[in-house]
């Protein structure tokens, strides 16, 4: 019984991190209509910034975290301005955008490996130990509680933003049809730029939390991106709420897969779920046909 | 028109085949007078770089000593170090480069078992001798006449620990958490064969190398209630991740670890509470051996840190001297060096007396250890 509860908790932890990664990913997909494979690097740069500041230079953790998120947001802005906007202006195909984003991801990952080595590092020397929380015989650490709380919190913030602000209305308009949005006077480039920064910031949070939880290496961003992409497709590409749902389905599928089958099947299970959705419900759970 | 193209195509393909065959097989023994180039393959990036970097330093240290003492018959030894990244793909291309571009006759390495398994066929087809100071997979026993190792097979690591687990400790059920690499799989197979033969049961949870979330694997293993858990990873960093998550989940089972861990003082120290009483089997070192003691001093003097992973360090150091002695005896020729290395008997090095059997494995084994207060000490029943 204890085992089952722990597996459920583990699924929720994994689902929460995937949710944070996938919501930003889907928000960006919604407005830009292209898979941003560089989304993972926002997580890596944020957590490596925290590592650099807090572990290597003993800067206060809250300041390091704030700067880490800022670095991710800034990189989101830079990538949008220097790669995606020029390519959009040239009416580049989705394939070109996809490859360009993959290229950007590989470049940033390589730079991180050059500066910090590709060895696994931990933040354990600076993470405050909140102790562990026991729930029906299962265990959660403080960091994991923060993860589980922040996913629905970000979802609520996204909902508030999308349905109750002028900016959110504009985002939805751009998602529906960028051309029409432009015609009615929305500065679509500015909207897309801000959405990139928001998505990057949320991904930065996901990266920092993962770093606190398990540790960091340059490839972690790419693995988070894989989870985010799968969750988005399951939930419905471009739909922020679908991403949230898809993330938890993925988290449960992976962890129960480990429980019922074996750890070596984790990725096979994740991608099987993806293929099943692509075959039978390609628009995802909440996606429109 | 079509026929012309076909003919041109055929000529090009034929030309490529001839060129390929000649560049692979047509090497003659090295007769020049410049430095003798020797290849080295170690992992220099990734989690396994913790072994590869000291490995490179130690081989360089030995080469510097040899050159300072006049080299090999007046010729200097020169190392060409390649990064095998602890995987077969990169090790195979590193071997291609060493064999075909640098035209070495001998390669020291590879280090990881997965590297060596992929590199051996490439080296053998180029008639280049390989001596591995670290690859321990049982699959490498008698794998090729061009391959020997002075580090023992994990078959002994597995059997030593399986016997202690079953006979001394009375464990009946062991749960493995095993990384999906050739080395870790070798340890699992060796242990499992002996332990099941004695009458125990072994379960195995394998996981891909890039895994960082082990919580569900640990929870599942905990639910199976094993007498002890064997953490069998390729690198100490991964064992560290698993230990940290066991600590988070508040579980402290009886533990076994593979021989990659005890030499990593940082990880052992960081997790000494959960590791107290953990069993492992290492090749072990003999500080009273003057050659080993000299290596300790020389490494500290040259690189400013204590010699890490000493079990590997001694074999890495010896491998360079074995290569020197081989080239002194039979010349810089891959085939002859490989044959000579298969006949090494009672050779004295930092690892003590080295004898290599006809199957290419050293006649030596792993000694059991137990981790006490963050330090590995010899195991006594």
B97 or A263, higher pLDDT: B97
Phi and psi for B86 in degrees, rounded to 5? 60, 25
Residue B32 has pLDDT above 90, yes or no: no
**Average pLDDT of span B129-136:** 94
Q: From the centroid of its chain, how far is CA A54? A: 23
Instruction: Test B216 with A215 for CB contact under 8 angstroms.
Output: no
- At B182 the pLDDT is 87
Q: How confident is the model at residue B28 (pLDDT cuts 50, 70, 90)?
A: very low
Q: Are A175 and A238 in contact (CB under 8 A)?
A: yes
How close A12 gets to chain B, by Cα (Å)? 11
Q: Does B302 touch chain A (CB under 8 A)?
A: no
Count the residues in chain B: 381
Q: DSSP states of A41-79 as a string?
A: HHHHHHHHHHIIIIIIS---HHHHHHHHHHHHHHHHHHH
- At B17 the pLDDT is 65
pLDDT digits (tens, 9 = 90+) for A148-183: 999 999 999 999 999 999 999 999 999 888 889 989
How close A97 gets to chain B, by Cα (Å)? 27
How close B266 gets to chain A, by Cα (Å)? 12
CA atoms within 13 A on the CB side of B250: 12
**Average pLDDT of span B196-221:** 92
Task: For A129, name the nearest residue in chain B, comparing CA atoms only.
Answer: B248
- CA pseudo-torsion sign B230, B234, B236, B239: negative
How close B281 gets to chain A, by Cα (Å)? 25
- At B27 the pLDDT is 45
Please name the member of B215, B241, B250 whose beta carbon is closest to the beta carbon of A10: B215
- At B273 the pLDDT is 93
pLDDT digits (tens, 9 = 90+) for A232-254: 999 998 889 999 999 999 999 99
d(CA A48, CA B228): 36
Q: Which of A215, A263, A268 to mutate to test the interface with B (most CBs of B within 10 A)?
A: A263
How close A197 gets to chain B, by Cα (Å)? 27
Q: From the centroid of its chain, how far is CA B299? A: 20
Chain B residues inside the 8 Å CB shell of A8: none
Instruction: Test B207 with A264 for CB contact under 8 angstroms.
Output: yes
CA angle at residue A161 from A74 to A178, to 5 degrees? 75
Residue B55 has pLDDT above 80, yes or no: yes
Q: Does B212 touch chain A (CB under 8 A)?
A: yes
Chain B residues inside the 8 Å CB shell of A13: 213, 215
Instruction: Test B249 with A139 for CB contact under 8 angstroms.
Output: yes
Please name the member of A214, A254, A259 whose beta carbon is closest to the beta carbon of B220: A259
Task: For B177, name the nearest residue in chain A, comparing CA atoms only.
Answer: A263
Alpha helices in chain B (DSSP H): 2-25, 49-68, 88-96, 113-125, 154-163, 182-198, 215-223, 236-248, 265-270, 272-275, 290-303, 310-330, 334-341
- CA pseudo-torsion sign A92, A94, A99, A102: positive
- Select from B99, B82, B100, B81 the least CA-distant residue to B91: B82
Cα–Cα distances in angstroms (integers) from residue A249 to residues A13, A135, A231, A269, in the given order: 12, 21, 8, 12
- At B2 the pLDDT is 64
Chain A residues inside the 8 Å CB shell of B220: 3, 7, 258-259
Residue A93: exposure state from Cβ atoms within 10 A (0-12, 13-18, ≥19): exposed
How close B238 gets to chain A, by Cα (Å)? 8
d(CA A50, CA B272): 27
State whether residue B367 is helix, strand or coil.
strand
pLDDT digits (tens, 9 = 90+) for B274-285: 999 999 998 888
Q: Does B274 touch chain A (CB under 8 A)?
A: no
- At A247 the pLDDT is 96
pLDDT < 50 positions in chain A? none
Mean pLDDT computed over every residue of chain B: 89
CB neighbour burial string for B195-205, b if at least 16 within 10 angstroms, e if fewer: beeeebebbbb
For residue A121, give the DSSP letter: B
The single residue listed with the structure tokens 């019922």 is A260
**Average pLDDT of span B43-47:** 86
* pTM (predicted TM-score): 0.80
**Average pLDDT of span B365-377:** 88
Chain B residues inside the 8 Å CB shell of A3: 219-220, 222-223
How close A266 gets to chain B, by Cα (Å)? 8
d(CA A116, CA A110): 10
Chain A residues inside the 8 Å CB shell of B223: 2-3
Instruction: Test B211 with A266 for CB contact under 8 angstroms.
Output: yes
- At A255 the pLDDT is 92
Q: Does B266 touch chain A (CB under 8 A)?
A: no
**Average pLDDT of span B98-123:** 94
pLDDT digits (tens, 9 = 90+) for B241-271: 999 999 988 899 999 999 889 888 889 999 9
Q: Does B180 touch chain A (CB under 8 A)?
A: yes
Chain A residues inside the 8 Å CB shell of B50: 119
Residue B294 has pLDDT above 80, yes or no: yes
Instruction: Test A263 with B217 for CB contact under 8 angstroms.
Output: yes
Instruction: Test A124 with B245 for CB contact under 8 angstroms.
Output: no
B192, two tokens: 């499992």
């Amino acid at each position: 019984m204890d085992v089952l509860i722990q597996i459920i908790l583990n699924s929720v932890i994994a689902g929460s991190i995937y949710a944070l990664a996938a919501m930003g990913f889907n928000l960006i997909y919604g407005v830009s209509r292209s898979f941003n494979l560089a989304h993972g690097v926002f997580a890596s740069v944020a957590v490596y910034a925290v590592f650099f500041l807090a572990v290597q230079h003993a800067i206060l953790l809250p300041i390091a975290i704030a700067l880490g998120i800022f670095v991710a947001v800034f990189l989101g802005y830079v990538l949008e301005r220097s790669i995606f906007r020029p390519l959009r202006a040239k009416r580049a195909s989705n394939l070109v955008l996809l490859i360009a984003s993959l290229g950007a991801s590989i470049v940033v990952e390589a730079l991180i490996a050059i500066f910090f080595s590709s060895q696994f590092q931990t933040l354990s020397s600076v993470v405050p130990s909140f102790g562990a929380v026991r729930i029906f015989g299962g265990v959660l650490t403080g960091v994991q509680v923060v993860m589980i709380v922040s996913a629905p919190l970000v979802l609520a913030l996204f909902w508030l933003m999308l349905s109750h602000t002028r900016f959110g209305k504009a985002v939805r308009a751009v998602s529906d049809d960028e051309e029409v949005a432009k015609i009615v006077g929305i500065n679509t480039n500015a909207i897309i730029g801000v959405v990139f920064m928001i998505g990057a910031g949320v991904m930065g949070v996901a990266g920092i939390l993962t770093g606190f939880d398990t540790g960091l290496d340059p490839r972690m961003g790419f693995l988070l991106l894989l989870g985010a992409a799968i969750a988005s497709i399951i939930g419905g590409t471009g739909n922020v709420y679908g991403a949230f749902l898809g993330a938890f389905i993925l988290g449960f599928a992976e962890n129960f897969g480990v429980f019922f089958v074996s750890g070596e099947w984790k990725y096979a299970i994740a991608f099987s779920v993806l293929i099943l959705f692509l075959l039978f419900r390609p628009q995802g759970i909440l996606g429109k046909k | 028109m079509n026929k012309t193209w076909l003919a041109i195509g055929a000529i090009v393909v034929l030309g490529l085949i001839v060129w390929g065959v000649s560049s692979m097989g047509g090497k003659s023994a090295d007769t020049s007078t410049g430095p003798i180039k020797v290849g080295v393959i170690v992992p220099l990036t990734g989690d396994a770089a913790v072994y590869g970097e000291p490995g490179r330093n130690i081989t360089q240290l030995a080469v510097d000593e040899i050159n300072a003492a006049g080299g090999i018959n007046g010729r200097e030894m020169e190392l060409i170090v390649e990064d095998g990244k602890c995987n077969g793909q990169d090790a195979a291309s590193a071997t291609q480069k060493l064999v075909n571009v640098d035209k070495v006759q001998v390669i020291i390495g590879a280090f990881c078992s997965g590297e060596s398994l992929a590199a051996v066929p490439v080296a053998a087809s180029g008639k280049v001798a390989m001596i591995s100071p670290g690859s321990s997979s049982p699959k490498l026993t008698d794998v090729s006449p061009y391959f020997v190792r002075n580090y023992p097979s994990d078959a002994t690591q597995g059997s030593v620990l399986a016997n202690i687990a079953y006979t001394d400790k009375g464990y009946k059920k062991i749960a493995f958490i095993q990384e999906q690499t050739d080395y870790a799989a070798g340890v699992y197979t060796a242990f499992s064969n002996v332990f099941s033969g004695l009458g125990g049961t072994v379960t195995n949870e394998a996981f891909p190398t890039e895994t960082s979330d082990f919580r569900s694997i640990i929870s599942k293993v905990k639910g199976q209630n094993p007498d002890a858990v064997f953490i069998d990873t390729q690198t100490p960093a991964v064992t560290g991740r698993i230990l940290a998550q066991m600590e988070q989940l508040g579980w402290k089972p009886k533990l076994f670890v593979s021989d990659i861990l005890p030499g990593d003082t940082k990880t052992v120290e960081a997790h000494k509470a959960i590791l107290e009483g953990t069993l492992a089997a290492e090749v072990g070192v003999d500080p009273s051996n003057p050659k080993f003691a000299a290596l300790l001093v020389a490494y500290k003097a040259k690189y400013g840190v204590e010699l890490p992973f000493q079990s590997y360090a001694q074999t890495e150091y010896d491998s360079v001297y074995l290569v020197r002695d081989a080239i002194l005896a039979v010349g810089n020729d891959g085939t002859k060096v490989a044959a000579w290395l298969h006949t090494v008997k009672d050779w004295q090095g930092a690892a003590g007396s080295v004898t290599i059997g006809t199957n290419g494995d050293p006649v030596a084994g792993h000694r059991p250890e137990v981790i006490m207060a963050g330090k590995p000490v010899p195991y006594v029943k």
